[in-house]
Amino acid sequence: MRRCLFLYLLDSHDQGWSDYRRLHGTYNGCWSWFEADVYNASTGTKTARVKIQDNLHAIPDFTFHKIIWHRENCENKDIERLIDALVSGATLRIFAKARFGGWANYVMRVQVTIVLE
């Protein structure tokens, strides 16, 4: 098993409002988030998408998130498969998602650092 670390730096926010005041500022009930997958053009295959991070619910200001995935102590099999699929020529793809009309995912920055040993 190869040693691997993924570091995601995200600055984002949702649409900044909702009717569910008790959820404001929490990660509950937020319908905007980030996902990743690995696509290999030479084989035409891709991994299952893995959720990286949700936005905070109804926060109008950009929020910074730092997410670290370690291969050697990972308990999520989808993350393990994504890391293992990252071979020469493959592409790590990041998706900014919003589920419903009215929801938004405003993105200022997405930065990914991958360290392989």
**Residue, of 101 and 32, whose pLDDT is higher:** 32
pTM over 0.75: yes
What is the secondary structure of 64-94 as a DSSP string?
A: EEEEEEESTT---HHHHHHHHH--TTEEEEE
Reported confidence tier of residue 72, pLDDT bands at 50, 70, 90: confident
Total number of domains constituting the chain? 1
Instruction: Tell me the residue range of the domain where 28 lies.
Output: 4-116
Report pLDDT for 98.
98
Reported confidence tier of residue 45, pLDDT bands at 50, 70, 90: very high
Reported confidence tier of residue 71, pLDDT bands at 50, 70, 90: confident
Q: What CA–CA distance (Å, rounded) separates 9 from 92?
A: 15
Percent of the chain with pLDDT over 90: 80
Q: pLDDT at residue 2 above 90? A: no
Q: Mean pLDDT throughout 43-55?
A: 96
Strands 106-116 and 4-13: what pairing? antiparallel
Q: What CA–CA distance (Å, rounded) separates 104 from 57?
A: 11
Beta-carbon contacts of 16 under 8 Å, excluding residues fewer than 6 positions away, are 58, 59, 60, 61
